[in-house]
Structure 1
């Protein structure tokens, strides 16, 4: 029978007659799917879709990522961006084995830094100015608050007008943009209203003479006072050291945050202020090419000249067919928080600044264009061009940087270098949302990285981001964190279980062992997981599906381990645990000498001396013997109290004693499994467990309290004799059953009302009768007992609240 051309085989390759070899049939790869062919796909913002990744130089990748503007503490939205790129970088280097040169730049001079540094300095000077006592500070705070509210009202009117105009012009793009701005503005106004309530309360403080009252008011009103002082006195802050010190503080904090998150340091870290001479030369080159112009000490890129020279603008955030003009909001964002010189000094309103003439209260460097400072966008072009060259493989940043920052970067770089494509692949992380809005400092809805790490570990945050698509928006919530914690626990539990199996003489058990159907099923699941992880990572670094594949094979292994009377293949389980650990190390979930993964600590056979293992085994055996004896005695009904006490001692050994020395016990149908853990980690777990149990107990008692109080109220109401229900001042006469017939003013009670009252009396008669029967005609005693029970529950709640 001929095999030629059948199945997955090609035509045979025949050797010449001198080789004496038989034909070989090479496997046929009949697919054009890039992932099936092992091609890495990367979502490229320049095209809006996933593209095959092809570096300019084989296996070498030049990668630039926009760093922070260091004007304030970094929040979890920044963590989302830098953790996501850290994971992608790790996968690219440690899994796909590309040679990556990774650069990050720190923006240490910028409108936001200037503004914040100036405001903080003015507040510092105010704190030291004791001539401004509490009463004067009250006046200042109220004035600043009034100005802030007026500014807010004006902004709201402007946005509302813009929405109305966009609606009339049927400009859906502008309308959507302005509606988004209105939503953000309303959040800011809500924050301002909240500040107002605090400020006005402190302004009316009776302890106005104390230093403490002054300090509290200054803290509460800091934001509005700082804005007022900056408008009035910001131009007086001219010392470069003020801006430099501010930037250095938050630059250092950012780097410490990145270390705390386990993010690898970049290969190259640059600062804008150290590149001012190169920035000036870069701008001069663009001017010489006729693509930029000077105006009132500033320099602007001429978009008309740029596009006339054959270049394209707004590649990342296209303005639509025909190239719609840049909106006013976009232009304002492009000029920065302090704005530019205005459209009057621009040839085209959409032109953007390469160099800004410094106004009073702004740092300045000498240049051929006059004293000034770099524009917002120019810095990245210059530092990346200097380190990575005139062409870059990958440029990364957050979603909010697409336009204007990155589009303007592309324009000025292509103008200077004379190319049509400065960056081959642009990658942008999706927004991180909290309470439905993008996490933002201006909206005051942000959680700093340090705050997040007070309640969650760096590993949990990393897992949370691994479970999301890096290029899509995501929500930061208790649910996403809890999901990450549960996945972390699943990995850890599996690793420890396999380590317990490995501790035994597993090789002796494997001798003579052969695979049954359930073993084949697990082996197939293992291979499928490896394939799924590989294909997921090729598909735009899809860690979400990769993590699902790892968790799925762990679930399969756990099911396999729970099969009754099955002799497990420890070698296969160890292979799965080793592979999962390897991928988690690549993702950065396990780092260095971390004891989280399989074979790296915990229950590793080499983690303790043989004497220590023997001690643990003896202790476990002792406890298990007592436990089993107690369970057997319980079956026969002997000495129940003593048996219960023995069981409690055993549980206390497991839950309280051994965790303090880092020993974890787990009771299984096949026996007790032990593992070594970090005592601090176990103590934290026990504390969290105790806190949850306490919370559950409090919740249960609160429900009981509500029920008991309702019962008291019911007893109290049922104690009223039916005939006395309506014998009140509202009425003057009643019939023999207590139904009111005449109102207090002498008017007769209507028939309908008499009918309702009769119905109520009949209902009360039943309740009164039931109460008398239940209390043996002593309802007061029943009520007292119920009140006593309520007091007991309140006492328990009070003790738990301490």
Structure 2
């Protein structure tokens, strides 16, 4: 199915600064399935028709994590979004997908973090460094960190000035973003400084032992100490097991996080360290073709030779006018934090990038014809993907920030090695996840780990949140986006349970003597329209946002249909809608396995719901009894004499609904037409009960706090009104007053000015009224009213204290 205007191919002349992209060559003996799937291809910047190289087979590679620290929700943004796309590709469009992920288990970031953690461990265990010595070391580290921060800011401001001078709007925007990020980092450093100085203050150690004071200072200064120790002693960490243990720890944590998020395992999972021999052979092949060269034990890809051989460079993030200044900074970042300032002198072209890095002291090394070293960052993906998927890949995915230099450099070295002009046919890049306006990043210390997110939200809620966003656009992680996902989750689940109840109570017999009316036709049309919209949306670049809205729309229309007065609902049509919505949510990964979320799961399967069982008969009888008692109580409540008794009966009924049945997994909902019941997971219902209690408690606390504020204000008013009007200004400020208590002379002998005299007279008049009102209100006993109000305040404070425990 083609979407209007979306299926046109991008011509080389139509996209400024873009390199040519060709329609993938295919096996023409196999017909292409009907329906045109469009994918936003980063190689062209446009939606392109998806054409697999080999019939229905799709070779898909995704850059995995650099396992140096815990994964955060920004990673979940990428891997959850790609998991959804992969599920749609295989489970909805029925392509045969081979999906590969690679974990980077050796990299500058891993080396740095592993070294730093090892050096911090050694320092923490060094008894020779007492509290006093640690104070000196921490202050030195802090000053060095501040100096480095200042240098970074000056460099960014200089680059911003240069970009502005040459008229590079992109360069200016990127440098402004870096300046904003630097300000955020400096704020974190300032916070570290405050904590360090507090821990260094001897006065804070008077109530704690020296050991505890040392531990507190070590915790506060950990970040700046790590950088200082690494600069001075990083070369002393030579044991490979330090780096291996670090990467294995976070690799396992990453895979556990993916499982917790419900992300399918890849079909193939590779590791860089297991591919070093093949990486060396890959580099040798590029050297043999004259497009790479060795220099001081490292190997660099020659961009000049690459382009002279007819290859295009920077396909994903073309360098526009004035892009060279930006390129230098981005390339330096891509080379890694351990490259050092002397690397540029080893290169024939400053923008050449490393395929193999000569290892320095404190870095792991493998033997190679070029000397002991380790793989460059970019080469790893080319080698592992080329080995598993071959010299022609259908889809390559990753986060937006990997476009340049990582993916552009991947393409360059792969096309150089394989001798092709298009190693990857489609590149897909997920949008950034932002928090507080900035991209979530470990370096900014503004990240929320996946495990932290799952403490407050379920994997389903996170998945729904991402389904409601475009996978290729930036999005914000906030209370609002999570609350919206929770709301949508409730909408789906409530609809499934309601249709289950309808099918259970009215199955088969409902069609006897039934005919479609206008409302029924409208519902059937809404069902078909939803299916059509979902299909077109998924064809249009995996547009799950519109697909989800289509599902929610047909649910909304179904709910309106069910609320239509004097209608006998079409149970089979509603069941068909519920089944279809569940099927799509299963494809999206919202419903997994024997999940109790989808349609037909709320009562241990629709077969049991329809046929009935002993337990259901028991529940049904119990519900009928409760409903009869409730109806009788409501009727009797019309009489005044038995009102209290009736209220008690109603409370017992509600207690059964709210407290007794949920732990048994029974949900009751009172409706105008009767009571609806469903079986659900007791743990889910208990969690809902706990959340409800928390909310009720918060509301109660808020109400009490308002009452307390009102009583405190009232108490202050009583105290101020108790002052007799003639005594209002009898203070040391004055020395003479008239008979009404109006001050006429200041303490220094000066007369009170006319203007001040009028103000004082007005104030005394107002006080006289307040005093009179108080006397009337208190029955001429203001002290008793004061004490009574104070007791109310004390009681409110006691209740608040009890609730806060």
TMscore range, shorter length = over 0.9
Cross-structure match for 2:199: 202
Cross-structure match for 1:93: 90
Deviations 1:763-790 (A, max 9, x none): 2222222222222222222222221211
Q: How much has 1:676 moved relative to structure 2?
A: 0.5
2:120 to 100, 119, 123: 123
Distance 2:623 2:801 in 1: 39
The alpha-carbon distance between structure 1 residues 262 and 114, as it changes in their structure 2 partners (threshold 3 A), is same
Distance 1:278 1:69 in 2: 20
The alpha-carbon distance between structure 1 residues 769 and 741, as it changes in their structure 2 partners (threshold 3 A), is same
Cross-structure match for 1:45: 42
Distance 2:324 2:307 in 1: 14
Deviations 1:177-204 (A, max 9, x none): 2222221111111111212222222233
Distance 1:93 1:148 in 2: 50
- Given that 1:325 and 1:350 are in contact with CA atoms closer than 8 Å, whether structure 2 keeps it comes out as no
Give 1:123-272 correspondences, 5 Å limit. Answer: 123-203=120-200, 204=202, 205-206=205-206, 209-272=209-272
- Given that 1:207 and 1:213 are in contact with CA atoms closer than 8 Å, whether structure 2 keeps it comes out as no
- Given that 2:66 and 2:110 are in contact with CA atoms closer than 8 Å, whether structure 1 keeps it comes out as yes
Cross-structure match for 2:338: 338
The alpha-carbon distance between structure 1 residues 760 and 170, as it changes in their structure 2 partners (threshold 3 A), is farther
Distance 1:667 1:569 in 2: 22
The alpha-carbon distance between structure 1 residues 411 and 33, as it changes in their structure 2 partners (threshold 3 A), is closer
TM-score (norm 2): 0.93
Q: How much has 1:168 moved relative to structure 2?
A: 4.1
The alpha-carbon distance between structure 1 residues 34 and 168, as it changes in their structure 2 partners (threshold 3 A), is closer
Cross-structure match for 2:630: 627
The alpha-carbon distance between structure 1 residues 607 and 133, as it changes in their structure 2 partners (threshold 3 A), is farther
Cross-structure match for 1:653: 656
Distance 2:593 2:654 in 1: 35
Distance 1:260 1:383 in 2: 26
Unaligned regions of 5+ residues in structure 2, if any?
9-32
Deviations 1:588-620 (A, max 9, x none): 000011111001244644458711011101111
- Once superposed, which parts of structure 1, at least 4 consecutive aligned residues long, lie more than 6 Å away? 28-33
Matched, 1:293 2:293: yes
Distance 1:751 1:323 in 2: 74
Deviations 1:126-148 (A, max 9, x none): 22222222222222222222221
- Once the two structures are overlaid, the 10-residue window that deviates more, 661-670 or 299-308, is 299-308
- Once the two structures are overlaid, the 10-residue window that deviates more, 772-781 or 78-87, is 772-781
Q: How much has 1:34 moved relative to structure 2?
A: 5.0
The alpha-carbon distance between structure 1 residues 690 and 292, as it changes in their structure 2 partners (threshold 3 A), is same
Distance 1:758 1:51 in 2: 84
Cross-structure match for 2:544: 543
Q: How much has 1:325 moved relative to structure 2?
A: 5.5
Distance 2:702 2:3 in 1: 62
2:693 to 684, 687, 690: 690
- How many residues end up aligned between the 2 structures? 775
Q: How much has 1:684 moved relative to structure 2?
A: 0.3
Distance 2:662 2:558 in 1: 27
Give 1:51-70 correspondences, 5 Å limit. Answer: 51-70=48-67
Q: How much has 1:508 moved relative to structure 2?
A: 1.1
Distance 1:792 1:59 in 2: 73
Cross-structure match for 1:524: 525
The alpha-carbon distance between structure 1 residues 672 and 270, as it changes in their structure 2 partners (threshold 3 A), is same
Q: How much has 1:415 moved relative to structure 2?
A: 1.1
- Given that 1:499 and 1:603 are in contact with CA atoms closer than 8 Å, whether structure 2 keeps it comes out as no
The alpha-carbon distance between structure 1 residues 673 and 707, as it changes in their structure 2 partners (threshold 3 A), is same
Distance 2:319 2:2 in 1: 42
Cross-structure match for 1:765: 768
Distance 2:715 2:493 in 1: 49
Q: How much has 1:391 moved relative to structure 2?
A: 1.2
Q: How much has 1:755 moved relative to structure 2?
A: 2.0
Q: How much has 1:235 moved relative to structure 2?
A: 0.6
- Given that 2:718 and 2:774 are in contact with CA atoms closer than 8 Å, whether structure 1 keeps it comes out as yes
Cross-structure match for 1:611: 614
Distance 2:760 2:329 in 1: 68
Cross-structure match for 2:744: 741
Distance 1:158 1:745 in 2: 63
Distance 2:730 2:641 in 1: 63
TM-score (norm 1): 0.94
Distance 2:168 2:321 in 1: 14
Cross-structure match for 1:21: none
Distance 2:156 2:510 in 1: 75
The alpha-carbon distance between structure 1 residues 513 and 237, as it changes in their structure 2 partners (threshold 3 A), is same
Distance 2:543 2:712 in 1: 55
The alpha-carbon distance between structure 1 residues 30 and 137, as it changes in their structure 2 partners (threshold 3 A), is closer
- Given that 1:496 and 1:603 are in contact with CA atoms closer than 8 Å, whether structure 2 keeps it comes out as no
Q: How much has 1:85 moved relative to structure 2?
A: 0.1
- Given that 1:664 and 1:675 are in contact with CA atoms closer than 8 Å, whether structure 2 keeps it comes out as yes
Unaligned regions of 5+ residues in structure 1, if any?
1-27
Distance 1:328 1:197 in 2: 35
1:104 to 101, 104, 115: 101
Cross-structure match for 2:273: 273
Distance 2:328 2:668 in 1: 65
The alpha-carbon distance between structure 1 residues 29 and 77, as it changes in their structure 2 partners (threshold 3 A), is closer
- Given that 2:73 and 2:449 are in contact with CA atoms closer than 8 Å, whether structure 1 keeps it comes out as yes
Cross-structure match for 2:508: 507
SS of the aligned residue for 2:300 comes to strand
Distance 2:360 2:331 in 1: 19
Cross-structure match for 2:753: 750
Distance 1:638 1:728 in 2: 62
- Given that 1:720 and 1:768 are in contact with CA atoms closer than 8 Å, whether structure 2 keeps it comes out as yes
Distance 2:424 2:444 in 1: 32
Deviations 1:285-309 (A, max 9, x none): 1111111111111111111111122
Distance 1:325 1:761 in 2: 74
- Given that 2:168 and 2:323 are in contact with CA atoms closer than 8 Å, whether structure 1 keeps it comes out as no
Cross-structure match for 2:25: none
- Given that 1:439 and 1:446 are in contact with CA atoms closer than 8 Å, whether structure 2 keeps it comes out as yes
Distance 1:782 1:528 in 2: 69
Distance 1:708 1:209 in 2: 45
SS of the aligned residue for 2:661 comes to helix
Give 1:301-700 correspondences, 5 Å limit. Answer: 301-321=301-321, 324=324, 326-340=326-340, 341-602=342-603, 604-606=605-607, 610-700=613-703
Distance 2:5 2:402 in 1: 35
Q: How much has 1:30 moved relative to structure 2?
A: 12
SS of the aligned residue for 2:637 comes to helix
Deviations 1:349-404 (A, max 9, x none): 11111111111111111111111110010000111111111111111000111111
The alpha-carbon distance between structure 1 residues 429 and 624, as it changes in their structure 2 partners (threshold 3 A), is same
SS of the aligned residue for 1:327 comes to helix
- Given that 1:665 and 1:675 are in contact with CA atoms closer than 8 Å, whether structure 2 keeps it comes out as yes
